[in-house]
Amino acid sequence: MNTQQNTVNKEIILTGDRATGPLHLGHYVGSLKQRVELQSTHDQTILVADMQGLTDNAHNPNKVSSNILNVVADYLAVGIDPSQTTICLQSQLPALAELTMYYSNLVTIARLERNPTVKSEIQSKGFERSLPAGFLTYPISQAADITAFNATLIPVGDDQLPMLEQTNEIVRKVNALGGKEVLKECKPLLSNASRLPSTDGKNKMSKTMGNAINLGATEKEISAAVKSMYTDPNHLRVEDPGRVKDNVVFTYLDAFHPNLSYVAELKEQYQRGGLGDGSTKKILEECLQEMLRPIRERRAMYLNDKAQLIDILATGSHVSREKTAQVLYDVKGVFGLNIL
């Protein structure tokens, strides 16, 4: 096949991560692994969402700025290849901010307040009394991210589904106003892996709650995290039968152990009785240490050469500015603003 033709026909993927902390195993299972697999068959852009990171951190901007290169190093360490995937920085793409302004006129406050993900974030961040306008409206800026690239496929976790729904509503409104297909609707690409629980078994893994294993975690941190993992609180003696369901050690073994029939045997033994938590944790720890060692080493190597990381972001942002100019022009056209 003609390669150029091939590039033209590739489906466009856009994903992003808020740059508010280093990425962790939850990101790996939920999205990063898929992005690595998709980069050779799709036209993929990954956005380091620094502006979205500021929507709840504007008073502590260092939390965002200091994590931008960490996130890029995380991408490269897991195998995202900048010659196949465009990695760009949201704040370097003015078209995104402009599109956000235009789209804002098409979305009601009531609609923004109904977004279930934003709703629960408002609660967990204690924003009920002092909600930044930028936070309530970040789904509009996310719609700008997605549509600016003409992306149709968005690999995300299920918490992002409300954002894609809002994006498609905006797309339909713009198309109705324009009287033709100006923007494309997108669909989610959900990983078939179930969401990875936090090490304490209480929540989803969170950058901020200290219950996650980061991709760059040291050997000691991995070891401590596995040792503290939630298992079956009623499994007191080795010979007692234990519960596999909601047992974080087994959830992680399912997600990361290369030999699933071995994991199935372990589960049987655990449920029968005769397998202690110390043993299952040891098996998990070995598996995670082995998997994360090369990622940690590559990550450190990339972070040692910040100039290279900046160069990758600058190149990707330059390419992305060119890619996003047309959609901005088209949307301004819908509002009759391409006069000059």
Buried b (16+ CB within 10 A) or exposed e, 215-228: bbbeeeebeebbee
CB of 142 to ligand TRP, least distance (A): 4
CB of 157 to ligand TRP, least distance (A): 8
Residue number closest to ligand TRP, CB atom: 16
If binding is defined by CB under 6 A, does position 87 make contact with ligand TRP? no
By three-state DSSP, how is residue 86 classified? strand
Size of the site for ligand TRP (CB under 6 A): 14
- Given the complex with ligand TRP, which of 13 and 213 has the nearer CB atom? 13
Ramachandran angles phi, psi of 213, nearest 5°: -105, 110
By three-state DSSP, how is residue 68 classified? helix
Stretch that binds ligand TRP, among 123-131, 152-160, 278-286, 301-309 (CB under 6 A): 152-160
- Given the complex with ligand TRP, which of 22 and 242 has the nearer CB atom? 22
Neighbouring C-beta atoms of residue 162, cutoff 10 Å: 16
Tokens of 147: 């549509």
User: At 46, which helix (H) or strand (E)?
Assistant: strand 43-49
State which of positions 262-301 bind ligand TRP (CB under 6 A): none
CB of 160 to ligand TRP, least distance (A): 6
Q: Say which amino acid occupies 135.
A: F
- Among 36, 69, 156, 196, indicate the residue that binds ligand TRP (CB under 6 A): 156
CB of 51 to ligand TRP, least distance (A): 9
C-beta of residue 266 within 8 angstroms of C-beta of residue 279: no
CB of 325 to ligand TRP, least distance (A): 18
- Given the complex with ligand TRP, which of 26 and 197 has the nearer CB atom? 26
Stretch that binds ligand TRP, among 141-149, 220-228, 236-244, 327-335 (CB under 6 A): 141-149
Stretch that binds ligand TRP, among 2-10, 103-111, 154-162, 246-254 (CB under 6 A): 154-162
Helical pair 161-178 and 116-124, crossing angle rounded to 10 deg: 130
- Among 29, 69, 87, 154, indicate the residue that binds ligand TRP (CB under 6 A): 154
CB of 154 to ligand TRP, least distance (A): 5
C-beta of residue 87 within 8 angstroms of C-beta of residue 80: yes
Ramachandran angles phi, psi of 209, nearest 5°: -95, 0
Stretch that binds ligand TRP, among 10-18, 124-132, 258-266, 278-286 (CB under 6 A): 10-18
C-beta of residue 196 within 8 angstroms of C-beta of residue 30: yes
- Given the complex with ligand TRP, which of 39 and 142 has the nearer CB atom? 142
State which of positions 13-52 bind ligand TRP (CB under 6 A): 14-18, 47, 49, 52
C-alpha to C-alpha distance for 14 and 46, rounded to whole angstroms: 6
- Among 36, 78, 96, 146, indicate the residue that binds ligand TRP (CB under 6 A): 146
CB of 234 to ligand TRP, least distance (A): 36
CB of 13 to ligand TRP, least distance (A): 9
C-alpha to C-alpha distance for 328 and 144, rounded to whole angstroms: 9
CA angle 46, 52, 53 (to 5 degrees): 100
The secondary structure of the chain in percent helix, strand, coil, rounded to multiples of 5, reads 55, 10, 35
Tell me 24's DSSP state. Answer: B
Neighbouring C-beta atoms of residue 96, cutoff 10 Å: 29
- Given the complex with ligand TRP, which of 119 and 272 has the nearer CB atom? 119
CB of 288 to ligand TRP, least distance (A): 23
Tokens of 104: 């804002």
Q: Which residues contact ligand TRP by CB under 6 A?
A: 14-18, 47, 49, 52, 142, 145-146, 154, 156, 160
